[in-house]
Amino acid sequence: MRGRGVVKAAWVEQKRPPRVVVVAAPDKPHVHEWLPRLLPMIEKHAEIAHVDLTFSYPFSDTNNDLVVVLGGDGSILQAARQMRYNQIPVVGVNLGRLGFLADIGPEQFERIWPLVVTGPCEYTEHVMLECSVYRGEQRRCCQIGLNEVALRTGSPYTMLQVDMFVDETWATTYSCDGLILSTPIGSTAHNLSAGGPILHRNLQAVVISPISPHTLTMRPVVDTADRVFELRLRRAAATTAVVVDGRELAELTMEDRVRIEKAPAAFKMINLTGYNEYRTLREKLGWSGAPRPELAPSPPAE
């Protein structure tokens, strides 16, 4: 099923408990506190197929129904990377800090979990990107990503010159410190810090945002997700690399081509009753008109 809609879960039709994979980030300080408490509650309403504390579960079993991720947004990105082209719906429990994707706390999860597993549940399919690096006609490497693909340089820092082709037609040449191609979900990450727009998560779109462009009229551009983008370096430092969701995929030379397109798989996030994107933006970005308490400036000295 494509797009947004109410999905009647297979375990509901078959009158069986769902098969659940629990993924938890071992480096999060609250994981070891909450995991022993949440596992019995998860198991009360579902069959736990595996508990992955090392981000190594291959997700090759197509009989799994749900993934519960304990951690933060980084943990969800890792789970999406692990699932690759076998994406199954995800419920994220925020044991980190900001939590755009892992939007509920453990106390809320305890209340919501029985409602999720009884179904039918609603989920949204989100755009993912597939990034391939070619040298000549040979594909060197390929990675699927949920947030963004970025071209970046390390020391010695040099301005990049990047030709961008869209559907095999030359679009423009960027002179910039870096270039980000972001999904709607990733629009609140690196793209936002680079001055790019926030996209609604449900859009089938990609935003291209140059980092510190040499020409001020080089502004972020939003395009449809069914385009094929190709990036070729005109000038770059020896440390230029393509990075997918914060992880380096490959160092680039002038001989390489970076091809970015909509992945054949979509990330699936369970929609929870009472939670919506504007509420998340309001609470996580301080859209209520006041900064978050921990970020509020100290009062001036008397």
Could you give the residue numbers annotated as active site?
A: 73
**Helix or strand run (H / E) with residue 35:** helix 31-45
Spell out the alpha helix ranges (H) of 160-199: 190-193
Q: Report how far residue 216's alpha carbon sits from residue 7's, in angstroms, rounded to the nearest whole number.
A: 45
Overall residue count recorded for the chain in this entry: 302
Strand-strand pairing, 90-94 and 66-71: parallel
Cα distances from 302 to residues 295, 298, 299, in angstroms, run 21, 12, 9
Question: What b-and-e string marks burial along 42-65, b requiring 16 or more CB atoms within 10 Å of the CB?
Answer: beeebebbebbeeeebebeeeebb
Nearest to 130 by CA among 73, 165, 181, 78: 181
Residue 204 — left, alpha, or beta (φ > 0 → left; ψ -120 to 50 → alpha)?
beta
Edge-first strand order for the sheet with 267-270 is: 5-7, 121-126, 267-270, 90-94, 66-71, 19-24, 47-52
Helix (H) or strand (E) holding 234: strand 228-235
- The dihedral through the CA atoms of 96, 99, 102, 107 has a sign that is positive
Write the Ramachandran bin of 192: left for phi over 0, alpha for psi from -120 to 50, otherwise beta. alpha
